[in-house]
Amino acid sequence: MKMPPVRTLCAPVAEWTAALATPAFVFDGAQVGVALEQFAALARRAGLKVLFSVKACALAPLLKLVAERVDGFSVSSWFESRLARSLLDDKGMVHLTSPGLDARELAAAQEYCTAITLNSLGQWQRLRGNLASGVQAGLRVNPQRSYAADARYDPCRPHSKLGVPLPALRVALERGALALDRLDGLHFHTHCEAESYLPLVETLAALEAALPEVFGRIRWLNLGGGYPAGAAHAGELAACLRALRQRHGLEVYMEPGKGIVGAAGSLVASVVDLFDSAGKAIAVLDTSVNHQPEVFEYGRVPPVLQAEPRGAFRYLLAGGTCLAGDLFGEYAFAEPLAIGSRITFTGVGAYSLAKAHRFNGHNLPDVYLRRADGTLQRVVHQDYGDYARLWGAD
């Protein structure tokens, strides 16, 4: 998996990490603002609306900052939809898409949603009649155009569960097996951490050519996410969307998540032990890969702010659990580490909080929001009581 770029924080690391009890996630509100402005510029240029993807980070104080700068939220469950609506009040859109939607979840979620996108033809046939009149109905289509290098992140991989395959949708339309009377919009998603918008432009052209009768009657089109704020060829995308909107009068949505919060999150840890293992220096930290599960799941190597690639002192950074593979990787430093040395993993703002867990009973990190003036506000702290309740203890 591609590593996010190493960031330089706006103040020397030692000045603001020294006051933290580690491990701690820190979200940089100013960095989030920079990404939001980049997407806002694209939105103005292309005439699209931005929905933040809550699954990337559901931290409520951060979502409050984001809510002021987007048109609404994209969600994947009724829990997320309820949280999103509580932060937006009645001032923004909430779009839900989930392959696991059933009648019970639909009933619970639609109270908070402006639009719900169904994932399959079967789901469309079973559930579209259950949608309230005030909730717009969408259908997810799988364009079957793969751009993500890693199949685990590819929504269009062979035998994908995500959306109606385009040929199957075409057949359903030709046979009259797809009722279009409630269809308000189409949703698709093809990419992950894309460096260019050109694949999106190509996909749009293919979909419009394949589904002329659908594009002629829907009200909106959701382009999904997977694009960082600074993806290349924004001009080509803007021109494509302006022309598309002119031909069909569509509203167009984009739902970035990691592109807004990914670079804004750091995980600050401390060295708790140092020793030699068969000639390799091991530095054990008070965090673990269980606080960044994608390290273990996908072999991600998170950047370390203090690391110096040409440094003379090399360490294998290890987590503090009994899992043998609880390893972040080998890093070089300009100075030797010591007990208490701070290690700052960067680019961990997306998905880490949602996936972090308490393997071995290790507590979850505190969570801080770093304001534009550099002040730190602790917004989440968990203790033994939270751990005990998780396992049904009094």
Is position 226 within any domain? yes
Same domain assignment for residues 174 and 241: yes
Using alpha carbons, list the distances in angstroms from residue 6 to 45, 272, 292, 306, 348.
29, 24, 16, 10, 11
Q: How many residues does the chain have?
A: 394
Tokens found for residue 147? 């751009």
64 lies in some domain: yes
pLDDT at 16: 67
Query: Would you call 316 helix, strand, or coil by DSSP?
Result: strand
Q: Are 170 and 281 contained in the same domain?
A: no
Question: For residues 227 and 77, what is the distance between their CA atoms, to the nearest angstrom?
Answer: 22
Per-residue pLDDT of 138-181, as tens digits, reads: 999 999 999 888 888 899 999 999 999 999 999 999 998 888 88
Distance CA 337, CA 334 (A): 9
Same domain, 235 and 266: no
| 213's tokens | 């009768």
pLDDT in tens, 253-273: 999 999 999 999 999 999 999
Residue 214 domain-assigned (yes or no): yes
Residue 6 pLDDT > 70, yes or no?
A: no
Q: Are residues 368 and 279 in the same domain?
A: yes
Report pLDDT digits (tens) over 96-118.
999 999 999 999 999 999 999 99
Residue type, 11: A
By the 10 Å C-beta count (0-12 exposed, 13-18 middle, 19+ buried), 12 is classed as exposed
User: What pLDDT was estimated at residue 38?
Assistant: 95
Phi, psi of 264 (to 5 degrees): -85, -5
Residues 303, 155: one domain? Answer: no
Q: How far apart are CA 322 and CA 297, in angstroms?
A: 17
pLDDT, tens only, 300-314:
899 999 999 999 999
Least confident of 2-11, 54-63, 119-128, 194-203: 2-11
Last residue of a domain, one of 256, 283, 302: 256
pLDDT at 179: 81
**At which of 256, 284, 305 does a domain end?**
256
Q: What are phi and psi of 50, to 5 degrees?
A: -110, 125
> What is the mean pLDDT of the segment spanning 247-258?
96
Last residue of a domain, one of 256, 271, 294: 256
315 and 228 share one domain? no
Residue 299 lies in a domain: yes
164/208 same-domain check: yes
Q: Name the amino acid, one letter, at 3.
A: M
d(CA 127, CA 137): 10
* Shared domain check, 282 and 235: no
Both 247 and 333 in one domain: the answer is: no
pLDDT of the residue at 93 = 98
CATH code of 356's domain: 2.40.37.10
Cα separation of 325 and 322, whole Å? 9
- The H or E element spanning position 270 is strand 265-277
**Same-domain check for residues 229 and 268:** no
Residues 130 and 67 in one domain: yes
CB 93 within 8 A of CB 54: no
CATH number at residue 113: 3.20.20.10
**Residue the block writes with tokens 């659908």:** 214
The residues with which 185 forms a beta bridge, in sequence order, are 138, 220
Distances (CA, A) of 8 to 5, 184, 284: 10, 44, 24
Q: Verify that 61 and 192 share a domain, yes or no.
A: yes
- Provide the domain count of the chain: 2
**What domain range is 282 assigned to?**
13-27+262-390
Could you report the per-residue pLDDT of 35-89, keeping only the tens digit for each? 999 999 999 999 999 999 999 999 999 999 999 999 999 999 999 999 999 999 8
Average pLDDT, the chain: 93
For every residue of 22-90, DSSP letters joined together read SSEEEEEHHHHHHHHHHHHHHHHHHT-EEEEEGGG---HHHHHHHHTTSSEEEESSHHHHHHHHHHHTT
List the alpha helices (DSSP H) in the chain: 13-17, 29-46, 60-67, 78-88, 103-109, 121-127, 166-174, 198-210, 212-215, 234-248, 258-261, 293-298, 352-355, 384-390
**Residue 83 domain-assigned?**
yes
Whether omega for the bond prior to residue 61 falls within 30 degrees of 0, making it cis, is no
- pLDDT at res. 3: 34
